[in-house]
């Protein structure tokens, strides 16, 4: 009988602990979609490049403020195979990037207003002050480690969603 009472009490506590609420425990929880990058502190989101049915999944840092976009991947020395940074445009426009203070060579992928890869500046030169430009109006720019676009077969026309 005592064992049954303890089991019932444990079950009740477990149900209370797992139920949604408005207390400190509920507000302190962070949803997986709200993860932040340990180096940049930026929100990390899911991004998919659809290559005609083959979906390539990435975890990318969201550079959605002027400050985050100005810094980008400057000073970074590592970027994983399926990591990157996305720079959405508040208003679609022609975009230009440079590699100032960026020791990593990158693939800079310009995304058109239709959500498709517009053009790719592959294997950019680290620390270069030369402008790398979109071929027209871009709604976002995706940066991956140099060579990833080619290795994965990413080409103009591929659909990008995030």
Dump pLDDT digits (tens) for 14-64: 333 333 333 333 333 444 457 999 999 999 999 999 999 999 999 999 999
What pLDDT is stored for residue 59 in this prediction?
A: 98
**CB-CB neighbours of 141 under 10 Å:** 24
Measured distance CA(81)–CA(127) in Å, rounded: 21
Closest CA to 94 of 26, 140, 59, 60: 140
**In this predicted model, what pLDDT tens digit does every residue of 55-97 receive, in sequence order?**
999 999 999 999 999 999 999 999 999 999 999 999 999 999 9
Measured distance CA(83)–CA(101) in Å, rounded: 19
Closest CA to 72 of 32, 46, 108: 108
What pLDDT is stored for residue 33 in this prediction?
A: 52
What pLDDT is stored for residue 3 in this prediction?
A: 37
More confident residue, 3 or 146: 146
Residue 147 near residue 34 (C-beta atoms within 8 A): no
Measured distance CA(73)–CA(86) in Å, rounded: 10
**Domains in the chain, CATH or no CATH each:** 31-161 (2.60.120.1140)
What pLDDT is stored for residue 130 in this prediction?
A: 97
> What DSSP state is assigned to residue 14?
H
pLDDT for residue 1 is more than 90: no
Q: Is the dihedral of CA 77, 79, 105, 90 positive or negative?
A: negative
Closest CA to 105 of 76, 75, 146: 146
Residue 58 near residue 84 (C-beta atoms within 8 A): yes
């Amino acid at each position: 009988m005592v064992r049954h009472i303890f089991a019932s009490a444990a079950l009740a506590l477990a149900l209370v602990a797992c139920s949604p609420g408005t207390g400190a425990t509920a507000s302190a929880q962070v949803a997986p979609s709200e993860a932040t990058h340990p180096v940049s502190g930026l929100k990390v989101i899911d991004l998919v490049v659809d290559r005609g049915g083959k979906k390539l999944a990435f975890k990318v840092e969201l550079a959605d403020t002027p400050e985050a976009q100005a810094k980008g991947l400057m000073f970074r020395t590592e970027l994983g195979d399926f990591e990157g940074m996305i720079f959405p445009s508040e208003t679609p426009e022609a975009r230009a990037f440079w590699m100032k203070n960026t020791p990593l060579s990158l693939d800079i992928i310009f995304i058109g207003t239709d959500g498709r890869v517009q053009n790719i500046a592959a294997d950019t030169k680290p620390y270069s002050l030369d402008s790398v430009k979109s071929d027209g109006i871009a709604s976002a720019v995706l940066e991956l480690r140099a060579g990833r676009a080619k290795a994965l077969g990413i080409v103009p026309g591929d659909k990008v969603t995030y």
